[in-house]
Structure 1
């Protein structure tokens, strides 16, 4: 039986999200970005993606160092250990898998990445400070027959429902945000009726910040041609614009729309879970 990583996070770490894939492939980054490519090693097995928010003034290295030590004590061999600029900065950040905001927030100038492997098991740790807090992402892979990875805070604390990550903070820190609560009619570009917290927050943000405009970008999976998907994704972005104008009073002149089709995936299109994540609408912050 192969051992999987067991990590203890800092006291006060609040769990944000957990995504599990029973059997999949993870490309473990093993080198800094080079010529728009991040060197990686293929691992296949059970993949678990978890994120936490750590409030307080702890630095990225203060959070990462104990996790690195725990992995070494468990026999994991470090494959990559780098800070933002040494990793490749912007290019590295967008060349590796990152759980979408607001579940994971990354400031491209303040992050540290660590990857390690042991036999057929692998783990990567990404820590960044953004918006006054630190965020931790752990992606672990273990063979199907291995014991599932265990990651726990030193003091068990559920995420505080009173302190969600605000969409406005995501926009200000990253310049774009996925509108994760939108629901479209099956096989349609029509946004379902109902109240969406992301749209309320967008409307309030625009009202409070007249210096900004928005670009709504529709995205799809890779089923069908790019031409078809570009058209579908643009119509979905347009339906979001219309809802913002009709239900929340946002001036249409402050919102542009575009369809990217399947050109900008944030997960693998080879599995159903990845295709579902890739079908999305993002808000991109623009200046007037």
Structure 2
């Protein structure tokens, strides 16, 4: 039977630490508690064979959570948890996403719980490390966040002193997360505000080409309006393919298609180029199964993803 996780140590004279509120469609998959141990805390990206880190000691607790909803984004997962940590006096000391973390090398340099309880998509993950200073010493918390086509996954690692009277570190009591992208009744601006991403579903590329076909695209007009109304916001246009062909070829094609969309946004819809970037994921982040034609069609897409860390 899964035990309730040990609580955060509250600073003397201050209120007890709040519990991280996961959505109600989340479930605890595994918990590991090491009463007295050490943890190698990442404090920077993997670069040239090295990853800045700090060895921290104390009661080490790790949990793996699964959030049952398709098409979730790692940004959608991390935003409410990050805000809760800040509200609970944690300082974010390091945060990164996928390739900016160091990609494959970073992922395997960080201690994680094994699958199937914790699944990490090497093409789509985020990492966050936070620290809080209390009278009796520091405590540390990291989040490793990823997603598959079926669900989102979050690993919590907490290191600190044991406090039997504090509340559990996490519970599934918040409203369920709504995964946008296939929801027709949500506007693009609503999807970006609430989920941090949206699929530009009306785009049409010329056969065998990365060139966006001529035509009026309501999704691009809506995106240009969104960017004009939020001039401090930045977004990435991310191309995706199905699994046909070599990975390198698909990544190159998906990035060229995203770049074509970027140019159209700037030239015909008046978007500010400084708010845009174009990237390609190839077939590394599918929305659906590549075993069916319908799934492959859904996977061939361009998404817009909010990249601004601060609102």
Q: Which TM-score applies when normalising by structure 1?
A: 0.51
**Matched residues in 2 for 1:79 and 1:9: separation?**
22
Aligned to 1:36: 49
Instruction: State yes or no: 1:82 paired with 2:96.
Output: yes
**Is the contact made by 1:80 and 1:116 (CA closer than 8 Å) also made in structure 2?**
yes
**Matched residues in 2 for 1:13 and 1:37: separation?**
34
Q: Which of the numbers 104, 108, 114 marks the counterpart of 1:94? A: 108
Aligned to 1:60: 74
Task: Using the TM superposition, give the Cα deviation of residue 42 of structure 1 relative to its aligned residue in structure 2, in angstroms.
Answer: 2.1
Aligned to 1:135: 153
**Is the contact made by 2:130 and 2:142 (CA closer than 8 Å) also made in structure 1?**
yes
- The CA RMSD over aligned residues, in Å, is 2.1
- The one-character-per-residue Cα deviations of 1:188-228 (angstroms, maximum 9, x if unpaired) are xxxxxxxxxxxxxxxxxxxxxxxxxxxxxxxxxxxxxxxxx
**Matched residues in 1 for 2:10 and 2:28: separation?**
26
Task: Using the TM superposition, give the Cα deviation of residue 55 of structure 1 relative to its aligned residue in structure 2, in angstroms.
Answer: 1.5
Divergent runs of 4+, >6 A: none
What pairs up with 1:249-260 in 2 under 5 angstroms? none
- The one-character-per-residue Cα deviations of 1:235-261 (angstroms, maximum 9, x if unpaired) are xxxxxxxxxxxxxxxxxxxxxxxxxxx
Larger-gyration structure (1/2): 2
Task: Using the TM superposition, give the Cα deviation of residue 156 of structure 1 relative to its aligned residue in structure 2, in angstroms.
Answer: 11
What pairs up with 1:217-232 in 2 under 5 angstroms? none
Aligned length: 157
Q: 1:98 to 1:26 in 2, by over 3 A?
A: same
Which consecutive residues of structure 2, in runs of 5 or more, have no partner in the other structure? 1-8, 12-16, 177-311
Q: Which TM-score applies when normalising by structure 2?
A: 0.47
**Matched residues in 2 for 1:48 and 1:127: separation?**
16
